[in-house]
Amino acid sequence: MADSKRFDNYINGQWVAGADYCTNINPSDLSDVIGEYAKADAAQVNAAIEAARAAFPAWSTSGIQARHDALDKVGSEILARREELGQLLAREEGKTLPEAIGEVTRAGNIFKFFAGECLRLSGDYLPSVRPGVNVEVTREALGVVGLITPWNFPIAIPAWKIAPALAYGNCVVIKPAELVPGCAWALADIISRAGFPAGVFNLVMGSGRVVGEVLVNSPKVDGISFTGSVGVGRQIAVNCVARQAKVQLEMGGKNPQIILDDADLKQAIELAVQSAFYSTGQRCTASSRLIVTAGIHDKFVAAMAERMQSIKVGHALKAGTDIGPVVSEAQLNQDLKYIDIGQSEGARLVSGGGLVTCDTEGYFLAPTLFADSEASMRISREEIFGPVANVVRVADYEAALAMANDTEFGLSAGIATTSLKYANHFKRHSQAGMVMVNLPTAGVDYHVPFGGRKGSSYGSREQGRYAQEFYTVVKTAYIGS
Ligand code: NAD
């Protein structure tokens, strides 16, 4: 590892050596070390929070042109370097190069979008019910925000938290996931050269137990925006509410994809394959429950089994790879455990189910499909977060809708149908935050709200103009004569 490079934390406008370092390894090739990334200790996290606090008064009242220009510059550099950053992303997370370049492009566009939002800040000016008095309703920055991100979108999720936070005048301390610090570091490097004053943006890498918990529990952090697992998110919410900090959580899913008898079979196969298996099934919006009505069920299962034979699993950077590796050994073990559970529960393995051998040593798993499964099985109810899906047969649309909604989660839900009646009914009666008609459950725009219901989310929406709900607080001013 003598040739691997060290990457430090960014605190108060300076690159600061970590209290320790962790090794970032390519899941497509375990002999490929991407670098040594700093791990902050509690003192460094507190220093970052102090720096953000000190920078907040000036930054929160700074001119919108300067904010716009800095965010726009970040967006431009990300877009100009999308191929190179895409390579880094594919190398550290394992999604394929085209998927990774797509994610980087999304991150660049998000910065451009929120650069524009700096210029569109608005409020209300209205008469009071008292004669001679007027009322102004304006939004002000929340304060210092702690941003905690997962490993599955190493650049897009940091971008969709950092960009609105800075646009609305907040100061940021971000903690990326330990498995993928490379993209967050590259983003911090770009931000460090974009013209933000020292302390406005800080990067502290390291573990959830140390860095995450200090951020969540610091009385000097006004809000936490978290994306990750349900267990961690719920504890963060409890801790934030106890000290009256604002909190926003985006968490897991068990997203249903309904396929009705009247669906276009070819389209249904493509969207099911795309949303169940692409990005190695490691998307919170992936559909792992395929709910199929009786008339099309057998044709659908047979066509899926055939289509899955042509899905190429391999090194994320190799041309022609459809699905890269699972992100880590721990995640691979979780996926394999659920494949065992599915078999022991009595579901029928239609395709996949085991490891794939490639030229390099990595965490390669065949996309896996179960049929003859029941809604009550654990594989139908629990988030697996890998390329594993199961088909459940239902009698008709009404049964499909009931089953789709019978989950503790509510992030994304899809229906494949040529019926306007069922599409409209599903749009209205699905209990998910995002509903897709004849589209994969995964794959969303960057300029509109993103988020779920029930156990999947808590607090206000992320992305688009709705992001201001979290990153601002409302002030009502009365003006007498
Ligand atoms: P995770 O909950 O293990 O970790 C998420 C982040 O929280 C990481 O940065 C981690 O270090 C940090 N963390 C861990 N323990 C902490 C603690 N005690 N205090 C503070 N921070 C702590 O999740 P993960 O494995 O990185 O990501 C996978 C999960 O994320 C899946 O459940 C997936 O559905 C979810 N996810 C949701 C969305 C969404 O928008 N709904 C998007 C992507 C991923």
Asked if residue 178 and residue 31 are part of one domain, the reply reads yes
Per-residue tokens: 71: 């965010």
What separation in Å is there between the alpha carbon of 103 and the centre of ligand 1?
18
Distance from C-alpha of 46 to C-alpha of 173, rounded to nearest angstrom? 10
What separation in Å is there between the alpha carbon of 176 and the centre of ligand 1?
9
Closest residue CA from atom 34 of ligand 1:
252
Domain span at residue 317 reads 256-437
Mutation probe of ligand 1 site: the residue of 103, 284, 434, 448 with most atoms within 8 A of C-beta: 284
DSSP classification of residue 466 = G
Q: Which amino acid is at 261?
A: D
Does pLDDT of 246 surpass 50? yes
pLDDT in tens, 439-473: 999 999 999 999 999 999 999 999 999 999 999 99
Asked if residue 468 and residue 343 are part of one domain, the reply reads no
pLDDT in tens, 383-393: 999 999 999 99
Of 186, 208, 194, nearest in space to 35 by CA: 186
The answer to whether residue 442 is domain-embedded is no
Per-residue tokens: 469: 């709900």
Atom of ligand 1 nearest to the CA of 177: 9
Asked if residue 363 and residue 272 are part of one domain, the reply reads yes
How sure is the predictor about 4, in pLDDT bands with cuts at 50, 70 and 90? Answer: low
pLDDT in tens, 395-430: 999 999 999 999 999 999 999 999 999 999 999 999
Q: What is the pLDDT of residue 444?
A: 95
The answer to whether residue 449 is domain-embedded is no
Q: What is the pLDDT of residue 1?
A: 38
Distance from C-alpha of 228 to C-alpha of 336, rounded to nearest angstrom? 21
Domains identified in the chain, total number: 2
At residue 172, φ and ψ (nearest 5 deg) are -120, 135
CA quadruple 457, 463, 465, 467: dihedral positive or negative?
Answer: positive
pLDDT in tens, 186-243: 999 999 999 999 999 999 999 999 999 999 999 999 999 999 999 999 999 999 999 9
Asked if residue 263 and residue 237 are part of one domain, the reply reads no
Q: What is the pLDDT of residue 362?
A: 98
Asked if residue 244 and residue 265 are part of one domain, the reply reads no
Chain mean pLDDT for the chain: 97
Q: Is the pTM of this model over 0.95?
A: yes
Asked if residue 260 and residue 226 are part of one domain, the reply reads no
Asked if residue 239 and residue 271 are part of one domain, the reply reads no
Ligand 1 neighbours, Cβ below 6 Å, are 148-153, 175, 177-178, 208-209, 212-213, 216, 227-229, 232, 236, 250-253, 284, 383, 385, 411, 456
Asked if residue 219 and residue 288 are part of one domain, the reply reads no
Mutation probe of ligand 1 site: the residue of 151, 232, 461 with most atoms within 8 A of C-beta: 232
Which CATH number is 37's domain given?
A: 3.40.605.10
Mutation probe of ligand 1 site: the residue of 227, 255, 409 with most atoms within 8 A of C-beta: 227
Catalytic residue, chosen from 250, 383, 462, 469, is 250
What separation in Å is there between the alpha carbon of 125 and the centre of ligand 1?
40
331-338 CB contacts, 8 Å cutoff, 24+ apart: 331/282, 331/363, 331/385, 331/386, 332/363, 332/365, 332/386, 334/384, 334/385, 334/386, 335/365, 335/368, 335/384, 335/385, 335/386, 335/387, 335/388, 336/365, 338/378, 338/379, 338/382, 338/384, 338/386, 338/388
Asked if residue 355 and residue 260 are part of one domain, the reply reads yes
DSSP classification of residue 264 = -
Q: What is the pLDDT of residue 2?
A: 40
Reply yes or no on whether 250 is catalytic.
yes
Asked if residue 466 and residue 431 are part of one domain, the reply reads no
Percent of the chain having pLDDT more than 70? 99
Asked if residue 285 and residue 235 are part of one domain, the reply reads no
- Strand, helix or coil for residue 220: coil
Per-residue tokens: 132: 């001679």
How sure is the predictor about 481, in pLDDT bands with cuts at 50, 70 and 90? Answer: confident
The answer to whether residue 149 is domain-embedded is yes
Count CB atoms within 10 A of the CB of residue 408: 14
Q: What is the pLDDT of residue 150?
A: 98
The answer to whether residue 314 is domain-embedded is yes
Mean of the pLDDT values across residues 36-53?
Answer: 98
Per-residue tokens: 17: 């050596």
Which CATH number is 330's domain given?
A: 3.40.309.10
Asked if residue 307 and residue 177 are part of one domain, the reply reads no
